[in-house]
Amino acid sequence: MYEVGTLVLYDKRGVYRVESVGTPPVRGTTGDYYKLCAVFSHSNEIIYTPVDTISSMRPLISSGEAAHYLELFSRLEAHVFRSGKTVELTAHYQSMLASHKVEDCLLLIKEIHVRQRELVRQKKRLGQVDTQYLKLAEKLICEEFAVVLDTTPGMIRERLYAVTDRKATA
């Protein structure tokens, strides 16, 4: 059980703070729920999720782990998934995010970034599915790393791509 004040990565939505544990103010609801508040949202978003279904959330990694993953990112070998079918591409990206593993999320970012570089050389742009999943993966990684490294999601995004772009031009 997570304690009040704990920061967690919730599903595919980002970093949330456990504000309270108890019965939510929703008619007909029983049992204990986490009241989660988004850390990086300006909309005051609140989510209530049952305490016994914590499979969709996990504690944040440590600052040391984040630093390790940032260093590892430049060495990750991305294998671009090639399919002309949107359904297959979507399933591939969803399966990578479903693990809730940092390395899988980083691989997804790198894979789509490599694909984007290939398309730019062909004077083409990323498709809607690629763009959607790239933004989602970046949000998850950048929010989590920003919290544990005491910086902003934008700074983390810059660090990720600075490393990737340096390697691509080398």
In the predicted model, is pLDDT for residue 170 greater than 60?
no
Per the prediction, the chain carries an average pLDDT of 90
Domains and CATH numbers, the chain: 7-58 (2.40.10.170), 61-169 (1.20.58.1290)
* DSSP letter assigned to residue 123: T
> Residue 146 in contact with residue 156, Cβ under 8 Å?
yes
Higher-confidence residue of 56 and 112: namely 112
Indicate the range of 94-98, 124-128, 166-170 predicted with least confidence. Answer: 166-170
Q: How many helices (H) and strands (E) does the chain have?
A: 5, 5
> Residue 149 in contact with residue 66, Cβ under 8 Å?
yes
**pLDDT winner (highest mean) among 81-85, 112-116, 132-136, 163-167:** 132-136
Indicate the range of 4-13, 50-59, 152-161 predicted with least confidence. Answer: 50-59
3-class secondary-structure state, position 79? coil
d(CA 84, CA 4): 46
* DSSP letter assigned to residue 55: G
Please state the rounded mean pLDDT for residues 119-131.
94
Task: List the beta bridge partners of residue 10.
Answer: 14, 57
Q: Which amino acid is at 117?
A: R
**What pLDDT sits at residue 52?**
87
d(CA 164, CA 156): 13
Higher-confidence residue of 164 and 33: namely 33
Q: Which amino acid is at 31?
A: G
d(CA 161, CA 79): 17
Cα atoms in the 13 Å half-sphere on the side-chain side of 114: 16
**What pLDDT sits at residue 91?**
96
* DSSP letter assigned to residue 12: T
Indicate the range of 72-81, 119-128, 131-140, 145-154 predicted with least confidence. Answer: 72-81
Q: Express each pLDDT in 60-89 by its tens digit.
A: 999 999 999 999 998 888 888 888 899 999
3-class secondary-structure state, position 86? helix
Please state the rounded mean pLDDT for residues 135-147.
97
**What pLDDT sits at residue 83?**
84
